[in-house]
Structure 1
Amino acid sequence: MSPLPRTASSGPLRMRDFRLLLAGAAAGQVGAQVTLVALPLVAVLELKAPAFQVGLLTAAETAAFLLIGLPAGALVDRMRKRSLMIRADMVRALAMASVPLAAVADVLTMVQLYIVALVTGAATVFFDVADQSYLPELLPREQLMAANGALETVRSSAQVTGPGLGGGLVQLVGAHLAIGADAIGYVVSALFLSRIDKPESKPEPVPGASLRKEIGEGLRFVLGHRLLRVIATSTGLSNFFTAMLMATQTIFLVRVIGLQPAAIGLMLSASAAGGLAGALCAGRLAARLGQARIIWLSALVTGPFALLWPLSGRGAAAVLFAVGSGAVSFGAVVYNVAQVSFRQTLCPPRLLGRMNATLRFLVWGTLPLGALVGGAVADGFGARAALWVCAVGFLVVPLRLLLSPLRRMRDLPAAPDALEDAVAGDSDASAGRSESASVS
């Protein structure tokens, strides 16, 4: 049988290398979603950790984006992306495997969980930056929207199946042993990535370049672009409140609503169905409504559903939590597909790693802060109060988008020069109408 064509006219799913990338993403994501349920349950059920320590654990998982996000981008631009992703997968697998081993030996502590979270978080920084920078090298740019939609579909599918699997494993074998599924997922991901055929050359070193200069170049590109600044601000704010939710939802579902581990897994799986629907609809919504318009519409329409989180309760009222999470996840995935595809189209290839890392630093750097605040609020005022803060926060997120040129654009021009001209012209046209409508 002849190999499938690898031309720009073929869809990304017809390309073997992209299918391998997709399969690796599926394996890694399913394992990660099991850990999303199992790791905080190890702290809550087995180590009896208070709310602030659970929040600190969530902060440790994402602290690397704040601590090493900027240099990671410059380093990724100097390396072969696929090889780096494989190494990052293996580091995460080893770190996660240490948890069940320590638990079986009866030496597991919160300190080890913090260390595991920090190590896996650092490896995830390099993997994610390399992943988003590798896709434009693997595929023609006109296929990026479809490819990102496919990747989001895989991630969302993992979010539907993974938590249910995780909750069932926790109920069956215990939280610490369930984490072994994550280690296996990362190993399988590395194996799929290693089978990709397309050769990748090592980036040529730039004479006179230094890590400091390269970081500065990435910062100037992102902060100097009007629409990228808007996206960074809005996404960072959304992630802050998402981290508050992540830090408090297990405490809320276990100690306030009274759910068992298997029920928590099913709850999170049901809510993730909204993300899967968003991934499947993102391309069609962007085509019908416009890629620029869908960015702010997705946040504006789905944000109010976050109010269902603190309104949920015991019994049938627990369903409100899943409905709220499903609607918010739908909007978040549609938003992500549109804005990530835009970023990849806009950026020159040599700056992709630094652009993605700079944005990850800005928008994911808020995650550990949100987790710490969430844990502190839950400790001081209760988990339901923390969820009220999250809900109000999601109502605020769309404001920055609505006060930007995105509100008056339908589509995002593909060419960087055309985009700059369009945004500059839009800002000039609106300058006489409203000072707050321009992008600062």
Structure 2
Amino acid sequence: MEEPLLRFRGFRNLFVAGAVSQLGSQISYVALPLLAVTVLGAGAGEVGLLAALGTLTVLVLGLPAGAWVDRVRRRPVMIATDLLRAGALLSVPVAWWGGWLSMGQLYAVAVLVGAGTLVFDVASMALVPGLVGRERLTSANSLLVGMGAGMDIAGRSMAGVLVQVAGAPVAVLADALSYLWSAAWLRRVPEPPTTLERREPIGRQISAGVRFLFHDRVLVAALVQGTMANLAFPLCSVLLPVLLVGELGYPEWVLGAYLAVGGLGALAGSSFAHLIGRRLGTGRATWLVSLATAPASLAIPFLDRGPWLWAAAAAWFVVAFRTGVNNVLLVSLRQRVTPDAMLGRMTATMRLLLMGAVGLGGLLAGALGEIWGVRSALWLGALIMAASWIPILFSPLRRHP
């Protein structure tokens, strides 16, 4: 019987660091747009742009970040990006208390936090195989994705209450402190031995990473499916503060609870992913689970007062369950088929497109909300999500063990 992964000191410390920072991140996920809406009077377009900027930084930094991570030790990079994000977020409550907070500052904070998150996540995903070994990647990712989903639930639920009781600036301060906590715990994570890429010019390394990804049909199918899902999610969620709080008049805690339902779904999906993958195989599991759950998204645009709120929340849970399963199985697959020296570049290339889709979804949500209303964005996101299983059906990924 294998020893539980959390008994390994290095992985345990990485897990704890991630748990605390993820909790804070989910608080800001709710608090920043609420701050924009309730304090600065932001409209749909401004909220959409705020959501998009945190991810569109990937378009500029994504590929160089991957090549850089493959050249350096990963733990110091993760600590530095935690400190960067903490400093950026601390500026928000300081500016609010000083009376000079503006949307421009929130946009700048979103860019800095997005850049830090990009580099941190690339380094973290490249670090995990060295800490646990490739044979235990699915178990490790199940724990990490489950932890992230659990923090989604706790953070988003806590955020709605915290914003209502203490105000959005205090909630953002809590996120900043969580990154400082994460940096402290990461100091205890050992740096596993790995081969660092230093010889070739960075441009050639970037090209090699892109070629590696796009020459593998399994990875391409996972990328296309993930890009569709990531485009759909912000279309279905970015304008929720405007709809739930601004138009329907629900209190802030309802928004936090609704978003937390998605975290609960992702937690359930990640908890069962290892079992489902072992029973069906990675490819068949991702295809069948996606086919069974993705169409539930068509209930989300009906979100309204009364029973429709519960129906939309249930659909959000089902769609997030699928995300939890895929995040465990497909991330593990990507790490298994990629050599150590290529992990940073493969991960960064994936994130360039996956997170770029999130940013584009945020921009589309803002534009559609301004032109045709909030529900037009929800409908587009629901339709894209409902069809996002198709790339797996017509690819070798469907039959991957």
- Range class of TM-score, shorter chain: over 0.9
1:374 aligns to what? 365
2:176 aligns to what? 183
2:81 aligns to what? 88
Residue deviations 1:80-139 (CA, integer Å, cap 9, x gap): 111111111110011111101100111000000000000010111100000100001111
- What secondary structure sits across from 1:365 in the alignment? helix
1:438 aligns to what? none
Q: Which shows bigger deviation, 176-185 or 307-316? A: 307-316
TM-score by length of 2: 0.97
- What secondary structure sits across from 2:42 in the alignment? coil
1:318 aligns to what? 309
State the distance in 2 between where 1:108 and 1:298 align: 45
Structure 2 vs 1, CA of residues 11 and 338 (structure 1 numbering), >3 Å: closer, same or farther?
same
1:362 Cα deviation after fit? 1.9
1:345 aligns to what? 336
1:360 aligns to what? 351
- What secondary structure sits across from 1:313 in the alignment? coil
2:161 aligns to what? 168
Q: In 2, are the aligned partners of 1:257 and 1:318 still within 8 Å (CA)?
A: no
1:264 aligns to what? 255
The letter of the residue matching 1:247 is: V
1:242 Cα deviation after fit? 1.3
Q: In 1, are the aligned partners of 2:156 and 2:260 still within 8 Å (CA)?
A: yes
Q: Percent identity?
A: 38
State the distance in 2 between where 1:380 and 1:205 align: 48
- What secondary structure sits across from 2:238 in the alignment? helix
Q: In 2, are the aligned partners of 1:31 and 1:185 still within 8 Å (CA)?
A: yes
Q: In 2, are the aligned partners of 1:242 and 1:390 still within 8 Å (CA)?
A: yes
User: Is 1:158 paired with 2:151?
Assistant: yes
User: Is 1:145 paired with 2:138?
Assistant: yes
1:381 Cα deviation after fit? 1.0
TM-score by length of 1: 0.89
Runs of at least 5 residues in structure 2 that lack an aligned partner in the other structure: none
1:307 Cα deviation after fit? 1.4
1:399 aligns to what? 390
State the distance in 2 between where 1:133 and 1:353 align: 6
The letter of the residue matching 2:362 is: A
Q: 1:336 aligns with which of 322, 327, 338?
A: 327
Q: In 2, are the aligned partners of 1:258 and 1:314 still within 8 Å (CA)?
A: no
1:228 aligns to what? 219
Residue deviations 1:255-308 (CA, integer Å, cap 9, x gap): 233211122112222332111111111101111121111122222211111112
State the distance in 2 between where 1:53 and 1:225 align: 39
Q: In 2, are the aligned partners of 1:80 and 1:200 still within 8 Å (CA)?
A: no
The letter of the residue matching 2:45 is: F
Runs of at least 5 residues in structure 1 that lack an aligned partner in the other structure: 1-7, 413-440
Q: In 2, are the aligned partners of 1:252 and 1:383 still within 8 Å (CA)?
A: yes
The number of residues matched between the two structures is 401
1:40 aligns to what? 33
- What secondary structure sits across from 1:104 in the alignment? helix
State the distance in 2 between where 1:367 and 1:277 align: 23
**RMSD between aligned residues:** 1.4
State the distance in 2 between where 1:218 and 1:205 align: 12
Q: Give the structure, 1 or 2, with the largest relative contact order (CA under 8 Å, sep 6 or more).
A: 2
